[in-house]
Amino acid sequence: MDLQPGYRLLLCDMRTDQMLDALPVTDVSLDDYIGKVGAASATIPLPNRQLAARVRAAVEPGRTALWIERGPEIWWGGVLWTANVTSNDRGYLGLQIQAGGWASYLDHRIVLHTQEATAVDQFDIVRGLLDYAQGVDGGDIGIEYGPELSGVLRDRTYRRYDQPRIRDLIDQLGAVENGFEWRVASYRDPGSGRRIKQLQLGSPIIKTGTSEIVLDHPGPVLSYGWPIDATVQANAWQTRGASDNRNQTQESLPLMSDLLVADEEIAAGWPRLDGTSDYSTVTEPATLAGHARADLAASVHPRAIPEVTVALDRIALSPALLGATIRLRIRDLWFTEGLDERYRVVGLAISPPLRGRPETAKLYLEAA
């Protein structure tokens, strides 16, 4: 196996972030997003008994934290969830590992005690859920947050009987009308050198960076994809909430929002396209109505998420680009008059170099 230059794995204890080992690595691939949890995979070569013993001592899925360094910078961090020992036909051993971003830990945390908030800023509700998760014995993995506010007040009750997962609750809270975006970023503090897991919140969106990067095709942009998709489009919408189980003598029926129709789309000549969504823990009509309005607004003209693949040996990019604005310029047979537009980076995936192809970054974009 050829080691991947510039990359190193830092294996740490999940709860204390105490370093267990730092190891060379091959086949590193990682991704990170605004709006969904990123993932990383890599192979740790096991060329001798001594290194195999070190890896066995440090890797314990579900308990081991994984940080990925590229040069002096932290490029990714998360929870190591799976490992697989492999041997090839020459007898070379390796440990293939897979990890999910820090937010994946909140998939494994459930609200087991009813939580209530009345006229509370939605960012404080998120921080309250995080405090709940990290406030129990064994639950603190060191996710930090700041004091920023969104200015949007919410009423929420999360019942222990529903046993909701905390990441799902944060996603649903952010998806309602006048909602927000969130992620847990990984970086090294430039002053102290400490590794940091930072909750990022942005209302209505996360925006970072002050200077834009220009990407050209032809140029550093090797290839692109530009989806045009109506399969998720809708101009009429109804949302379903929790069922009313209080009267056992009657049929249990779910709470339903009003039927919303984008009449202007029908008048403009679009055929009727129906859509629905479910929020099985929502019991308040006003909250359900907010979800319905947000879902319809997102579905009338769904966001196109184009992607561009960039050669990392031709331009310096890193996962810190998430939320930043780039200027994309394309001139080809499709964009014959030339595209020159600004986009926000909402996702990034790093792929290792292959024979004849450099290390690349795929950027997922939305209109800025």
Task: Summarize pLDDT for 221-249 with one digit per residue, the tens.
Answer: 999 999 989 999 999 999 999 987 665 66
Q: For residue 367, is pLDDT > 90?
A: no
The enclosing H or E element of 58 equals helix 49-58
Domain of 147, CATH number, reads: 3.55.50
The CATH number of whichever domain residue 356 belongs to comes to 2.40.450
- Asked whether the predicted pLDDT for residue 316 surpasses 60, the reply is yes
Q: Let me know whether 278 and 160 are in one domain.
A: no
Are 218 and 348 in the same domain? Answer: yes
pLDDT at 248: 61
Is the residue at 221 inside a domain?
A: yes
Residue 184: count other Cβ atoms within 10 Å of its Cβ.
Answer: 24
Instruction: Tell me which of 275, 300, 325 is where a domain ends.
Output: 300
Which of 49, 76, 105 is where one domain is finished? 105
DSSP 3-state assignment of 160?
A: helix
Quote the number of domains for the chain: 4
Structure confidence by residue, pLDDT tens digits, 327-343: 999 999 999 999 999 99
Same domain? 193 vs 312:
no
Whole-number pLDDT of residue 100: 98
Position 210 pLDDT exceeds 60: yes
**221 and 349: one domain?**
yes
Does residue 91 lie in a domain region? yes
- Residue 82 domain-assigned (yes or no): yes
| pLDDT in the model for residue 246 | 61
* Residue 272 predicted with pLDDT over 60: yes
Judged by DSSP in three states, 342 sits in strand
208 domain residue, yes or no: no
| 46 & 146 share domain | no
Per DSSP, 136 falls in state S
Which residues span the domain enclosing 32? 7-105
pLDDT of residue 77: 98
The verdict on 358 and 266 lying in the same domain is no
Residues ≥6 apart with Cβ < 8 Å to 233: 273, 299, 300, 301, 302
Confidence of residue 111 (pLDDT cuts 50, 70, 90): very high
Question: Taking 70 as the threshold, does the pLDDT of residue 2 lie above it?
Answer: no
Percent of the chain whose predicted confidence (pLDDT) is above 70? 97
Tell me what pLDDT residue 165 has: 97
Give yes or no for residue 312 having a pLDDT over 60.
Answer: yes
Query: Could you count the other beta carbons within 10 Å of the beta carbon of residue 335?
Result: 15
Give the least confident one: 93-97, 265-269, 302-306: 302-306
Q: Rounded to whole angstroms, how far apart are CA atoms 164 and 166? A: 6
Tokens standing for residue 183: 């992620």
What is the pLDDT, as a whole number, of residue 252? Answer: 79
The domain boundary residue, chosen from 300, 323, 345 = 300
Residue 207 counted as domain residue: no
179 plus 283 within the same structural domain: no
Is the pLDDT score of 83 beyond 80? yes
What pLDDT is recorded for position 251?
Answer: 75
- 158 occurs within a structural domain: yes
Q: Is the pLDDT of residue 211 over 90?
A: no
Query: 253 in the Ramachandran plot: left (φ > 0), alpha (ψ -120 to 50) or beta?
Result: beta
> Could you tell me if 220 and 342 lie in one domain?
yes
343 in the same domain as 219: yes
* pLDDT attached to residue 209: 82
241 shares its domain with 263: yes
Instruction: Evaluate if residue 1 carries a pLDDT over 70.
Output: no
Give the CATH number of the domain where residue 23 resides: 2.30.300.10
What mean pLDDT comes out for the span 45-64? 96
231 located within any domain: no
Clarify whether residues 218 and 361 are in a common domain: yes
C-alpha span between 118 and 47 (Å, rounded): 58
Shared domain for 331 and 282, answered yes or no, is: no
